[in-house]
């Protein structure tokens, strides 16, 4: 171990054993600042990396055991330190020091921008130029202007083999396919951000090709995907294709090299409802634009939302299942009560007609963190923050009660996180919990929600049982080998930046056959490309990540 008493030593040292867990990006000067220690110690020091001087000394709490990680941690609270700078937490006469972190008012600006720009880097059908993509520039792939109608989606007017154009959109995850169900929640989350943080949205420059036009970059980015979603509706009946896909997952090659035929597959009730909900929400957000073209697009979105909803009402139980010759992501869901509630809520808000909703509809929904397969909370969020909602008060009560449960879990957890079930994409659950807390904070102005959202950021950026900062390109212990085809095929050592890795879980323990993973769910993670179950990326993980980081960044002074 280094003595860490000199300026040079403090700058160069890092805790290779993850004995000190800290948000590796940093904190606002006036925010809560809590690290976790896996070592029993009487005191901890915060050391300025520039000078080597101890600037704060504190006493940690008692060690607490967490059954989900299989270890014990103590909290090290240094919230009293408010001076901007770069620091490490050190123990045992400064012989063990944490990863470095910053304290300043702009600490989340760059990572918020990167989390949004990651979606640009995952655009389908667009060349990523050096001007905007840097070393991750690549040729365009998948123009999707000659997509085939799969047998499962065939109709008289669009028979099997019919060719249609469906360009644009984001690649869904580590593969090159595009899925309506997952696009819905992802696009919605960005629309919600635009609604809640309009001034920040206007000011954010993400350095994408559209930057500098009359449309905010957040809106420009979501529109790239929303316009693709519009092409997935059959204009003849209003139904929406479930996905645009290859028949099977391809290998790790660049987009322009992946040239297998593409298909639109089966119209499903879930896809049509998710589409209807997203387009109805879009109609409200786009109506506030100063650009006439965008206002008109909003009107088109509402019209298409109503047609998709009508199709779903007429076809209430067409549940998606992969046809025998298709093996890509299914996003299958046979319980779509929540999708009906979300779509009904959004259309009620868009048309100011609440005759199709009731308090019972709202209160009967499962109170769970939003995900692609559980979307009832999305309808609740929209009702809770919309001025013209007949159900605003009741929705706010439901949302705040649930946020209180999340805060209580975080307060009682040794790791100070609300997460107590590690699903596939567990990091996205943490980010979405942060979204709920930020909405609760806007409704109530109670800082307990803001402080709890800070703990979610802390977790994602390094204060977790793996010790990784889960956002690529950031932190001292970085995720480097995400399951993402362009990152794996481009010959660049660093992965595409700004992506949220899926995170630990024990759903699949054999995706990397040569790796023995921990059976403790909070530690069961491996930074290898083969680990699609823990180290893939996805648009529905980055959307709430951007929401959480952007919302926090909007509060900088």
* 527 classed as catalytic: yes
Q: Are residues 95 and 146 in the same domain?
A: no
| pLDDT tens column, 46-72 | 999 999 999 999 999 999 999 999 999
Residues 54 and 182 in one domain: no
* Claim to verify: residue 90 and residue 116 sit in the same structural domain: no
- Phi then psi dihedrals of residue 316, to 5 deg: -75, -5
Do 282 and 426 belong together in one domain?
yes
Answer whether residue 209 is part of any domain: yes
* 427-466 pLDDT per residue, tens: 999 999 999 999 999 999 999 999 999 999 999 999 999 9
Band of residue 535 on the pLDDT scale cut at 50, 70, 90: very high
Q: Which residue has the higher pLDDT, 416 or 6?
A: 416
18, 144, 172, 175: the active-site residue: 175
Is residue 302 in some structural domain?
A: yes
- Rounded-to-integer distance, Cα 228 and Cα 167, Å: 6
What separation, in Å, do the N-terminal and C-terminal C-alpha atoms of the chain show?
Answer: 39
Does 373 share its domain with 407? yes
Q: Which of 66, 82, 103 is the last residue before a domain boundary?
A: 103
DSSP 83-133: --EEEEEEETTTTEE---EEESTTTTHHHHHHHHHHHHHTBSS--B-HHHH
Structural domain contains residue 162? yes
Q: In this structure, are 89 and 158 located in the same domain?
A: no
Look at residue 1 and tell me whether its pLDDT is greater than 90: no
* Domain termination residue (choose one: 72, 103, 134): 103
Q: Residue range 503-509: average pLDDT?
A: 97
Please say if 483 is a catalytic residue: yes
Task: Determine what percent of the chain is predicted with pLDDT higher than 90.
Answer: 95
- Catalytic: 333? no
pLDDT at 10 over 70: no
| Residue 389: band (very low, low, confident or very high) from pLDDT cuts 50, 70, 90 | confident
Examine the fold and report which residue of 68, 103, 138 is the final residue of a domain before the chain moves on: 103
Same domain, yes or no: 50 and 126: no
Three-state secondary structure call for residue 471: strand
Instruction: Indicate whether 339 belongs to any domain.
Output: yes
- The pLDDT assigned to 95 comes to 87
The whole-number pLDDT of residue 16 equals 77
Residue with tokens 């690290």: 35
User: In this structure, is residue 415 part of a structural domain?
Assistant: yes
162 has pLDDT over 90: yes
Do both 85 and 118 map to the same domain?
no
| Catalytic residue (one of 48, 527, 529, 553) | 527
pTM: 0.97
Domain that holds residue 415: 109-465+537-553
Average pLDDT over residues 298-314: 98
> What pLDDT was estimated at residue 18?
95
CA distance 20 to 7: 20
Question: In this model, does residue 8 exceed pLDDT 50?
Answer: no
Q: What pLDDT was estimated at residue 14?
A: 66
User: Nearest to residue 471, comparing CAs of 77, 63, 91, 26?
Assistant: 26
Candidate list 333, 346, 536, 553, residue with the active-site label: 536
Does 354 fall in a domain?
Answer: yes
The one catalytic residue in 483, 490, 511, 529 is 483
């Amino acid at each position: 171990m280094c003595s860490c008493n000199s300026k040079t030593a403090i700058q160069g040292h890092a805790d290779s054993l993850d004995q000190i867990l800290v948000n590796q990006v940093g904190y606002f000067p006036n925010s809560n600042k809590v690290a976790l220690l896996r070592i029993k110690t009487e005191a901890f020091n915060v050391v300025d990396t520039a000078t080597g001087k101890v600037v704060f000394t504190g006493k940690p709490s008692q060690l607490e055991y967490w059954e989900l990680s299989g270890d014990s941690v103590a909290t090290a609270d240094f919230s009293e330190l408010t001076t901007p700078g770069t620091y490490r937490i050190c123990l045992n006469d400064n012989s063990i020091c944490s990863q470095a972190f910053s304290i300043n008012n702009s600490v989340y600006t760059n990572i918020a921008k990167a989390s949004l720009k990651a979606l640009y880097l995952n655009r389908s059908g667009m060349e990523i130029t050096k001007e905007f993509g840097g070393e991750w520039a690549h040729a365009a792939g998948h123009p999707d202007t000659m997509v085939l109608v799969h047998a499962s989606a065939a109709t008289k007017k669009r028979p099997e083999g019919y060719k249609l154009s469906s360009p644009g959109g984001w690649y869904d995850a580590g593969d090159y396919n595009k899925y309506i169900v997952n696009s819905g929640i992802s696009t919605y989350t960005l629309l919600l951000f635009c609604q809640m943080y309009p001034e920040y949205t206007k000011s954010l420059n993400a350095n994408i090709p559209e930057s500098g036009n009359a449309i905010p970059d957040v809106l420009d980015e979501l529109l790239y995907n929303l316009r693709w979603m519009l092409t997935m509706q059959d204009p003849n009946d209003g139904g929406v294709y479930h996905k645009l896909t290859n028949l099977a997952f391809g290998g790790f090659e660049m987009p322009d090299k992946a040239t297998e035929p593409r298909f639109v597959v089966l119209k499903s009730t879930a896809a049509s409802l998710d589409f209807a909900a997203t387009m109805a929400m879009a109609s409200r957000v786009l109506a506030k634009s100063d650009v006439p073209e965008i206002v008109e697009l909003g009107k088109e979105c509402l019209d298409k939302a109503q047609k998709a909803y009508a199709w779903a009402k007429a076809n209430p139980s067409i549940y998606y299942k992969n046809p025998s010759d298709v093996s890509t992501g299914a996003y299958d869901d046979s319980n779509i009560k929540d999708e009906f509630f979300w779509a009904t809520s959004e259309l009620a808000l868009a048309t100011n007609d609440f005759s199709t909703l009731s308090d019972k509809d709202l209160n009967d929904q499962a109170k769970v963190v939003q995900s692609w397969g559980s979307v009832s909370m999305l309808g609740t969020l929209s009702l809770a923050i919309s001025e013209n909602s007949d159900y605003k008060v009741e929705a706010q009560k439901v949302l705040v009660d649930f946020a209180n449960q999340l805060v209580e879990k975080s307060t009682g957890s040794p790791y100070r996180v609300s997460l107590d079930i590690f699903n596939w994409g567990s990091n996205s659950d943490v980010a979405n919990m942060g979204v709920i807390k930020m909405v609760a904070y806007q409704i109530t102005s109670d800082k307990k929600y803001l402080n709890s959202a800070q703990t979610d950021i802390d977790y994602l950026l390094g204060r977790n049982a793996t010790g990784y900062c889960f956002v690529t390109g950031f932190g001292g212990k970085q995720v480097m080998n995400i399951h993402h085809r362009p990152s794996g095929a481009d010959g660049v050592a660093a992965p595409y930046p700004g992506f949220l890795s899926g995170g630990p879980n024990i759903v699949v323990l054999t995706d990397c056959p040569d790796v023995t993973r921990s059976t403790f769910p909070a530690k069961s993670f491996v930074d290898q490309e083969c680990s699609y179950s823990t180290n893939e990326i996805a648009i529905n993980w980055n959307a709430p990540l951007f929401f959480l980081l952007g919302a926090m960044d909007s509060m900088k002074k």
